[in-house]
Amino acid sequence: MGICIIALLSALCFITQFAPARADDASTLLAKHKAYTGWQFGDESLKTSEMTETVTRGDTVEKRQRIRRIGLLYRIDSRDVKAGIDSSIGFTGNLFWYSDENGFTVPLIGDPAKSSLAEDLFFTDAITQLPWNIVRSEHRWNKPYTVVRVEQPNAFPMEVYVDPESGAYGGVVIDPKGDSETTIQVVDYRSDGDKRFISHWKFDSSRRIFALGDIKAGAPVTAQDLHPPPQTARWDFKNSNPFPIRLTGERVVVKARVNGVEGSFLLDSGAASIFLSGAFARRAGLKAIGHSESYSLFGAEKVDIGNAATFEIGENVLHDVKVYFGPGEFDKDGPDGLLGFALLASSFVTIDFEHSTLQIQDPTAVNPGSVQGVHIAVDLSDGTPTTLMYV
């Protein structure tokens, strides 16, 4: 799909130029915080770093993560232990990005980018380089806090909860009272030499705990290390001509082959991946490499994850693509599965409803600007296209 990427965040390179003019109380609170942590954003010893992190729920480790940083720039590689798949997120200095289990990489734009930047500013403690405005005192998480409002033009505003005695952070509310409001609670700090770091934290509504592991300050991290990983699923584009599909009411039904086995599938731009029925997956010889859950309007459903050696549609072949399978038939018109983001992510797809055809092209061979119609920038960070709409 053609994606228009807008660099939102070039001003971040000059974040330290935001010279804060703080009231005495805010200055005192900031001084307490810096004394408590023993470091601040921009310190030479922490300009680059590498660390590990685990995500647990109860006694179960759900994810293991590797984090590499250069200042605000970062890349986080995550291993989903149960699912047996890898994904990554990061910030190059020009854009935030997300790469899924197939290595399909998309930019984060709009609200997801604003949220990501706010989190980045908080966890790197770059918020200490921005103006602090004390807005109130509040008792939360069984403790009294001074609440400081922090703003940066490209990020959502934040309300940071600061212990008035020690200067430690208790948490942060990103986009308070907004549509993207997110609360992060700092569970604990840990000492590493003469410095303190946030060691355990959680999203306020979640039981998952993020726990910091090893820290390597000054690790040899380069800008190239922070770029997205290579794509693992790959297309072999053999036919750029339209081929027939079947339209039934509001459904687009296509024929495709998985590992050489033909099936009938619904094309679903709202599906975050390729989902196959359990019966079809067995016919196609798919083996589970891990387990996960899929979510729909009907709730959560347990699914398996497998690797399809070939996925052929209209003579074009997608190789080594990870797919989800397990539920029963999806629909009487397309009983064998749904074709979503994994099909659309790295191809240029055109549906001609008038002539009932589908066309799959190599995106490098298409000039999106020459394609007629209304062009809309969408966010694809969760595998489904979303955009702002005013009614």
pLDDT tens digits for 269-285?
A: 888 899 999 999 999 99
Cα–Cα distance measured from residue 156 to residue 118, given in angstroms and rounded to the nearest whole number: 6
Specify the range with the lowest mean pLDDT, choosing from 133-147, 187-201, 321-335, 346-360.
321-335
Which whole-number Å values give the CA distances from 311 to 21, 207, 233, 257, 258, in the listed order? Answer: 59, 37, 10, 6, 5
What per-residue confidence (pLDDT) applies to 19?
Answer: 39
What per-residue confidence (pLDDT) applies to 390?
Answer: 82
Hey, do 21-226 and 234-370 end up sharing a CATH topology, with the first three levels equal?
no
Share of the chain above pLDDT 90, in %: 77
Residue 92's Cβ-count burial label (10 Å; 0-12, 13-18, 19+) is middle
What per-residue confidence (pLDDT) applies to 387?
Answer: 81
| Pairing of β 48-57 and β 208-217 | antiparallel
- Taking a C-beta distance cutoff of 8 angstroms, is the pair 9, 110 a contact? no
pLDDT of 300 over the 90 cut: no
Q: pLDDT band for position 301 (50/70/90)?
A: confident
Mean of all residue pLDDT scores within the chain? 90
Specify the range with the lowest mean pLDDT, choosing from 139-148, 157-166, 340-349.
340-349
Eight-state DSSP code of residue 386 = B
At the topology level, CATH places domain 234-370 in Cathepsin D, subunit A; domain 1 (2.40.70)
Higher pLDDT, 335 or 37: 37
- Taking a C-beta distance cutoff of 8 angstroms, is the pair 186, 171 a contact? yes
- Taking a C-beta distance cutoff of 8 angstroms, is the pair 50, 66 a contact? yes
Mapped onto helix, strand or coil, the DSSP state of residue 102 is coil
What per-residue confidence (pLDDT) applies to 388?
Answer: 75
HSE toward the beta carbon, residue 201, CA cutoff 13 A: 19
Annotated domain spans of the chain: 21-226, 234-370
The model's pTM: 0.87
pLDDT of 228 over the 90 cut: yes
- Mean per-residue pLDDT, 213-242: 96
What per-residue confidence (pLDDT) applies to 3?
Answer: 37
Which pair of structure tokens corresponds to residue 129?
């380089």
What per-residue confidence (pLDDT) applies to 12?
Answer: 40
Residue 349's Cβ-count burial label (10 Å; 0-12, 13-18, 19+) is middle
CATH ID of 21-226, from 2.60.40.10, 2.50.20.10, 3.20.20.140, 2.40.10.10: 2.50.20.10
- Taking a C-beta distance cutoff of 8 angstroms, is the pair 31, 24 a contact? no
